[in-house]
Amino acid sequence: MNKTLLASSLLLSLGMLSGCSDNDNANSINTAFEKERQRQSGELIESISITGGGIRIEPGDELQLKATGVDSKGDSRDITKEVTWQSSHPDFASINDQGKITAKAQSDTEQGLVTFTATTINDVSESIEVSIKDIQVASLTLSANSARAYACQPNTITTAVTYDDGYQGTVDNNKLTWEVAGSATAYINDFGVLYTSDSSGDDLQVRASYAQANSNQLSFTTAPTQITSIRFVDNDEQSYESLDLDLGERETLQVRGTLNEQSVDVTPGVNWAENNNAIAYIETNPRFSGAVLATEKGDGLVYASCSDSVQDSISLSVTSAQEGELSAIFINDNSETISLNAGESTEIRVYADYTGFSDNINVTDASTWIINNSLVTATLNKRASDEVYLNVTAKPDVSGDALMTFGFLEQEQSVIFEISN
């Protein structure tokens, strides 16, 4: 950029600021410089779009808006922190310079609507509405463009909520609960995207609940994937062919697929396989699909597939600076017996002791377990993390002993739950 030209372009406007206070003068000078810099570099925003609105929230809730701008070069960028945000009714809901809304009180406007406006340095603006009201939900409606749920690929479900006062908007995904029946591999993420690895023509039934309302039922039939190719990608969506991990390290594999010439996330829907199962545990639960724990030194291949003809693989190498041989596994603090009252729960973690390691590795999710009777139940929590644990619960009104046996690679360990009623 020609700095002389930039400075010259500002002389006239700076001369007009002499009557302002020092702070106003400094802010105006900075704004003028930045505006002129963006103009000369082609970064000056010409249009704005805002996402995150069109929703109803209650006093005490927070909501993040995002502003995206298109500049004079035609490039798009996130300008959420560049724009000036304003609320039409700050007493009901404020918005900070990061685009975060804080609902303060129920709005007395029609349907509780508050308008939030984003304005750029060159006075290009856009607005979006949010309803601030605590009104009961009247109905929740699910819809989809197809009655088929295609294997591996994203299948979008649209949600629409209507309130007792007639307001219609999008749902808060954090308050939406999904229910899927008909397939063990079917999974719906927080954004209403349905994945399944099943392509056999099975029937799926999908329902949702939101606040006090239950939705209609959507029915799908699983079908072969329309994905034409897949590839392993990193966080920047760049393809790669090999992965090096330290023993005990966790990583999450991501897989993108090509659908109608578009790149889409297929990680929750792929099938996983390895040619050397000992070196790594791969999470197959769709919600945590692709989470990897390196469990033994060695080399191998990891495969992801959408069908027999649509697959990809990467080489995996697990190394350790220490000796890193598995010597034993143990439960919690090496517990052999744990006392529980009927109906009581406890957290169980399985640790692996590797030679040369100062810390033991939590391998609960990579372990197998068998319970010798029905006195207790076990569910995994905090999967795909170093904090993973089994929540073991004694059933109500029971007593006796339950033996739980864990296996990890070639090691085995048991714990007895002594249950009192």
Residue 222 CA: distances (Å) to CA of 193, 337, 376: 14, 46, 35
**3-class SS of residue 173:** helix
- Detail the DSSP E strand segments found in 1-83: 45-51, 56-57, 62-64, 66-71, 76-78
**Which two tokens mark 55?**
């929703």
Position 358 scores a pLDDT of 93
Count of CB atoms situated within 10 Å of the CB of 166: 10
CA dihedral 167, 169, 171, 172 (to 10 degrees): -80
Position 277 scores a pLDDT of 86
* Residues 5, 16: Cα–Cα separation, whole Å: 19
Phi, psi dihedral angles at 33 (to 5 degrees): -60, -45
Q: What is the pLDDT along the chain (421 residues), one digit of tens a residue?
A: 444 444 444 444 444 445 555 566 666 777 777 777 877 787 899 999 999 999 999 999 999 999 999 999 999 999 999 999 999 999 999 999 999 999 999 999 999 999 999 999 999 999 999 999 999 999 999 999 999 999 999 999 999 999 999 999 989 888 899 999 998 889 999 889 999 999 999 999 999 999 889 999 999 999 999 999 999 999 999 999 999 999 999 999 999 999 999 999 999 999 999 998 889 999 999 999 999 999 999 999 999 999 999 999 999 999 999 999 999 999 999 989 999 999 999 999 999 999 999 999 999 999 999 999 999 999 999 999 999 999 999 999 999 999 999 999 999 999 999 999 8
Q: What angle do CA 270, 276, 280 make, to 5 degrees?
A: 70
Position 157 scores a pLDDT of 96
Position 26 scores a pLDDT of 66
Position 140 scores a pLDDT of 95
Position 24 scores a pLDDT of 62
Sign of torsion over alpha carbons 213, 214, 216, 220: positive
278, with CB counted inside 10 A (0-12, 13-18, 19+), is: middle
Query: Is-contact 79 48, C-beta < 8 A?
Result: yes
Phi-psi region of 111 (alpha: psi -120 to 50; beta: other; left: phi over 0): left
Count of CB atoms situated within 10 Å of the CB of 271: 16
Phi, psi dihedral angles at 360 (to 5 degrees): -80, 155
Q: What angle do CA 51, 57, 63 make, to 5 degrees?
A: 45
**3-class SS of residue 274:** strand
